[in-house]
Amino acid sequence: MNLSTFAVLSLSLGLIYGTVLFSHNTSRLFSVWGEEIQITVYLTDNISESQIEQIKKKLESSEYIVRHDFIDKVQAAKLFEKSLKNYGPQFLSSLKSEVGSPFPASYQIQLKPEFNSPEKVSKIADEFSAMGGIEDVSYGQEWVGNYTNLMRIARVLGILFGIAIFVGCLFTVSNSIRASLASRREEVEILELIGATNNEIRAPFLIEGAFQGIISSVFAILILGGIYSYSFQFIDGVLGAQSADKVLTFFSPLVIFLMVLFGGIIGAAGSYICVSKINTGWAAAEGARSL
């Protein structure tokens, strides 16, 4: 096997697999962060009893809610005071003495994990916004919106990037096999001469291509595994409250098997692009041309 082909193919496959790994873990990370999404439904100060009943009824009957907690105006002020006690104690006490608690009563809603996607959270928030007696619904709209857009862009870029590298891999293998075919032209001519069929002649080249793909794939996964293990400790520090063990994963054995298979298929396909021109006299014709 040609060393430069092996290096280029390993690098290309490593980029594809690296993109898949990055995309998978980013998605998992966002999903874990997504689990912390809470919807806060702020009630108006002049909310009526019937409106409260309607909201309660909806909260209790909704299939997507794990739990909900009512925070009245006083509790809201206390929570605010607790969170900011080191920063502005005078400001908080001045607010209390003049107008009472300025904070609205609210419901804090935690959703079931399967309803934590940005699209679903947004839809649920809209349902509450449409109800009477509700002043505002908050769930980190800006973050969720950015997340959705980011993921969409990342997905499209990932697909385009993957296609470009895939095509590159095909041509890398194809060129390598072309060189191999040229150096073995006489051998192919002899096989044609003694009545070998096209498939019998092509088979060794297809196997060679598949073998190149498989070996390069294994090497790419090993290198990627090394990089993943090495960078794990740094990522762990960046994630803060989230443990990297819980969030990040490497490829499962099944995925590794599929990737090695993918490498083999790319190798065989690249090889086929080149050897498909072999037909019951190709080598002899090439030989005659080169005379």
Partner 1 sequence: MIKLTHVYKIYQPSVHALSDINIEIQKGEFVYLTGPSGAGKTTLFRLITCYDQPTSGAIEVAGVDLKKIKPQDIPLIRRKIGVVFQDFKLLKNRTVFENIALPLELAGIRKAEITDRVNLALEQVGLKYKGPFYPMHLSGGEQQRVAIARAIISKPGILIADEPTGNLDAALSEEIMDLFAKINAQGTTVFIATHNLAFITKGNRRVLKIDKGHIVEHVPSASREEIKYEIELDF
List residues binding partner 1 (CB under 8 A): 186-187, 189-198, 200, 279-281, 284-285
Question: For strand 134-138 and strand 65-71, is the pairing parallel, antiparallel, or unpaired?
Answer: unpaired
- Of 131 and 288, which has the nearer Cβ to partner 1? 288
Torsion of the alpha carbons at 179, 184, 189 and 193, rounded to the nearest 10: -140
Whole-Å CA distances, 14 to 227, 228, 254, 270: 11, 12, 17, 17
| 106-111, strands of its sheet edge to edge | 65-71, 106-111, 38-43, 134-138
> To the nearest whole angstrom, how small is the minimum distance from the Cβ of residue 203 to partner 1?
11
- Of 141 and 276, which has the nearer Cβ to partner 1? 276
Whole-Å CA distances, 193 to 184, 188, 282: 14, 8, 11
H-type alpha helices, 113-140: 118-129
What is d(CA 84, CA 147) in angstroms, rounded to the nearest whole number? 28
- Of 50 and 280, which has the nearer Cβ to partner 1? 280
- Of 65 and 206, which has the nearer Cβ to partner 1? 206
> To the nearest whole angstrom, how small is the minimum distance from the Cβ of residue 280 to partner 1?
4
- Of 74 and 179, which has the nearer Cβ to partner 1? 179
- Of 196 and 239, which has the nearer Cβ to partner 1? 196
Q: What is the largest CA-CA distance in the chain?
A: 105
> To the nearest whole angstrom, how small is the minimum distance from the Cβ of residue 2 to partner 1?
18
Whole-Å CA distances, 48 to 134, 171, 174: 11, 71, 74
> To the nearest whole angstrom, how small is the minimum distance from the Cβ of residue 189 to partner 1?
7
CA-based nearest residue to 2, from 254, 215, 165: 215
